[in-house]
Each structure stands twice: as C-alpha cells, then as structure tokens.
Amino acid sequence: MFLKENVLLAVAGLKSNKVRALLTMLGIIIGIGSVIAIVSIGDALTNKVNDTMSSLGANNIVVSVVPRDSQSSWDKVDDSDLLSREQIEKFQQKYANEIENVTLAAGGGSGQVKDGRLYANVSVQGVNEGYQAFKNIKISSGRFLKDRDIDQSRRVAVVSDKLIGKMFKSGVDPLGKEITLYSGDDVSTYMVVGVYKYEQTAMMGMGGTADEDITTAMYVPITVATEHLDNQNYSDFAVKAKSTVDSTAFTKTIQKYFDKLYAGNERYRCDVQNMEDMMTEVNSMMGTISIAVAAIAAIALLVGGIGVMNIMLVSVTERTREIGTRKALGARNSFIRTQFIVESIIICVVGGAIGILFGILLAAIGVHLLGAELTVSIPIIFISVGFSMAIGIFFGYYPANKAAKLDPIEALRYE
C-alpha cells in the first residue's frame, strides 16, 4: 500500500543521511559483492579449465615426469631423468591396441616472422604428428607435420591463416614458400607445408590485443624446436586412447608401466592423469571454494542484516514523534509497518545493487588477471536482489512492528 510514496520517502531518507546509509549497507554490500565476485570468477575458471580440457578430449591421458619430493626443484634434471623418444615409442608399441596416437610438444618460445616491412607475431610450438588430433587442429590447405618431418628434423612449419593473410598477397599460394623467423638472436627459415584455421580461444578473449599484433601458433617439428635446448628428452607427453578403451582403467595400467620404468630413479617419477579425472577434480575443488565463500557471505549478510535492524530501531526512536503525528492523521498500524519495512527493503536492495556492481568489478579484475573470460550469470543477480529484499523484510520486520505498535499519545509526547 502507498508503495510509491513509501519508496520515495525511503529514498529521501537515505539521501538525507548518505554516510549513515552507506555504513548501514556495508555488510550487505560486502556479502552480496563477495558472492557475485567469487561465483563469477569460479564460473569463469571452471569454464576455462573445462573448455581447455574438453578441447583436448576426455580420453586423453597425460604422462609427466615430476620430482618425487614435491619440495625439490627441477634444476638438477637431465636427459637421463626424462623420457627419451625410444622409451616413448617402446611404450607406444607395447600398447598399440589401446593407443590411437601419442602427442609430443615443446614450447620453442615466441618470435616474429618478418619479410621486409611485413611481420606477424608467433609462438613457436614443437610438436609431433599426433598433436593435430590431440588439439583438434583444422588444416585448411597443405598438410600437418608428419612423423618423418620429426624424424628427419626437417625445417618445415604449419602456420595460421592469419599469418598467411599478413605475410602473403592474396592469391599467392604460400605452400612451399619460405618464411624467416626471428626469435631472440636466432634467425631461421622454414618452409610452409600447411595452413590451419585460427580459432580465437576463450583465454585470449580478454587480452585486448589489437588484431594486428595477435600472436598465433606456428607448429614446427619437435626435434627442430628442441635443438637448442639443454635437454633433448621429454618431460611430458600425451596419449590419446582409442575410443573403445576405458580411460580410467588404462590410466592405471600406464601408471604401473611407468612406475616400473622409474623404479630405479630416486628423484623423479611419472605422474599419469586422464582429463576426465582432472575435470572432476577441478570441478569438485570449485564446489568446495563455493561452499566456503557462501559461508563467509552468509556471515557478512547476517551481520549486515543485524546492522540494518539496528539502524531501523534507531530510526524508529528518532522518528517517534513523526510516527505519532502520522497516527493522529489517521495512519493505521499496518500503514506504519509497511512504511518502515519498505524503508528497510530499500536500504538492503540499494546495498545489494551496490554489492552486485562492486562484485562484478572485482570479478572483472580477477578474471582479467587469471586470463579467463568474464561471464556474469543473470540468475545470480536476480537471486541477489531477491535475497537483499528478503533480508530487508526479515530484519526490518521487528523495528517496523515496534513502530506500528507505538501508542499515539506516547509517541506525540516523546521529546
């Protein structure tokens, strides 16, 4: 009843005492803000991780060499601790029935492909033939790297259509052409054997890089990429199991195989994980974080609600005479109750709205730092607003009822 008047009155009340209103709202702002921020960041992270992992495929299994003692660092690692190509091939042959392919990859750093005034930023990735299926790379012309390129350390490269667009005139067939890579002090030339279709990934979405300066992957044989490194062997590789294989069971089998292989190594061992398990792990971790945050937020909101109740009680006392006057003018008890509950709701909803904005801002910063993409869930905003209203009603009821029940005479006599 008299909703519009009551809202206007409440807003005028808040405006007339901004500092007090803000302090009152603080608990609500912090509570709602932290929920929005953490839920948004959590969603963004889960999405990013799940995206990455599902793009890799659930039946991918990653084998990596890790120190036995998690405290010890990697600095004493040498080729004898890592996996050699022979070891990997031997493993691959043993499980030829279960394995579709094996992926090797090594980062070769970043650089620029230049030709006169034309240039394109690239990140050089040393890979093997299996990498194409592993990363689901779509070739638009030419071919992907073959095992024989790797075996012979050929200086060939597969580059993005973006790079081609920048480095070659349209109509020119880039296949078989040479490109020059400047990477640090190194200058090397590669022959283009294939072009893949560049797809912007979620992780790069917030980068804010101009299209001009975008960095795309340039794939070269892994043997070429690791030529200048100290270690020629591999610290990890990925196995793509055949679709008929139970990846969880196969993961265990692989773990046993490498445990045996590394039985004699005191410092290192192999860790075998499949994507499905990792995804479950990440998701359950997110779940735990969410519960912890929900608990913190609940406490903040409880404290906030008590703050609102406190200020409403003060407000009722301060306005005792006003309440008496309203009653003398014919306000029923229920009108007074509504007036104060609306005021309490307004405080909470305004606080909630500020909290939502504040939370989104925090989430945007957090997500940016994590390199993920911000998605604001609309339901959580509605839930937050609804929850703020509920707090307003719950904690406003007692003061409002107290106001409603004031005896008009007592209220008018109040000094």
If the CB atoms of residues 138 and 332 are measured against other proteins, the closer one turns out to be 332
Q: Least distance from C-beta 388 to other proteins, angstroms?
A: 23
Give the 3-state secondary structure of residue 129. coil
Q: How many Cβ atoms from other residues are within 10 Å of residue 378's Cβ?
A: 8
**How many residues make contact with other proteins (CB under 8 A)?**
22
106 alpha-carbon distance from chain centroid: 24
Q: Least distance from C-beta 2 to other proteins, angstroms?
A: 6
d(CA 289, CA 310): 31
Footprint on residues 296-335 left by other proteins (CB under 8 A):
321-322, 324-333, 335
d(CA 140, CA 158): 11
Footprint on residues 13-42 left by other proteins (CB under 8 A):
13, 16
> Which member of 3, 12, 210, 378 binds other proteins (CB under 8 A)?
12
If the CB atoms of residues 252 and 413 are measured against other proteins, the closer one turns out to be 413
If the CB atoms of residues 264 and 330 are measured against other proteins, the closer one turns out to be 330
Listed ranges 2-10, 68-76, 219-227, 359-367: which one lies at the site for other proteins (CB under 8 A): 2-10
Q: Least distance from C-beta 399 to other proteins, angstroms?
A: 18
What distance, in Å, lies between the first and last C-alpha atoms of the chain?
Answer: 30
d(CA 176, CA 291): 56
If the CB atoms of residues 5 and 271 are measured against other proteins, the closer one turns out to be 5
By the 8 A CB rule, do 367 and 206 touch? yes
Q: Least distance from C-beta 11 to other proteins, angstroms?
A: 10
Q: Least distance from C-beta 375 to other proteins, angstroms?
A: 42
Q: Least distance from C-beta 408 to other proteins, angstroms?
A: 5
Listed ranges 40-48, 59-67, 104-112, 405-413: which one lies at the site for other proteins (CB under 8 A): 405-413
* CB burial readout 122-135, b (16+ within 10 A) else e: bebbbbbbbbbebb
Length of the chain: 415
Best CA proximity match to 144, nearest among 132, 154, 136: 132
If the CB atoms of residues 231 and 333 are measured against other proteins, the closer one turns out to be 333
409 lies in the site for other proteins, by CB under 8 A: yes
Q: Least distance from C-beta 398 to other proteins, angstroms?
A: 20
Footprint on residues 38-97 left by other proteins (CB under 8 A):
none
Listed ranges 51-59, 307-315, 383-391, 406-414: which one lies at the site for other proteins (CB under 8 A): 406-414
* CB burial readout 1-10, b (16+ within 10 A) else e: eeeeebeeeb
d(CA 190, CA 162): 17
Footprint on residues 332-391 left by other proteins (CB under 8 A):
332-333, 335
Residue type for position 17 = N
If the CB atoms of residues 16 and 243 are measured against other proteins, the closer one turns out to be 16
Structure token pair of residue 136: 């689901």
Structure token pair of residue 53: 């992992």
Q: Least distance from C-beta 8 to other proteins, angstroms?
A: 9
Kindly give the pairing relationship between strand 178-183 and strand 236-241: unpaired
If the CB atoms of residues 111 and 399 are measured against other proteins, the closer one turns out to be 399
DSSP 8-state assignment for residue 327: H
Q: Least distance from C-beta 4 to other proteins, angstroms?
A: 8
3-state SS track over 49-73: HHHHHHHHCCCEEEEEEEECCCCCC
- Helix 247-261 and helix 85-94: axis angle, to 10°? 130
Q: Least distance from C-beta 413 to other proteins, angstroms?
A: 9
If the CB atoms of residues 62 and 412 are measured against other proteins, the closer one turns out to be 412
Applying CB under 8 A, the residues found at the interface with other proteins are 2, 5, 9, 12-13, 16, 321-322, 324-333, 335, 408-409, 412
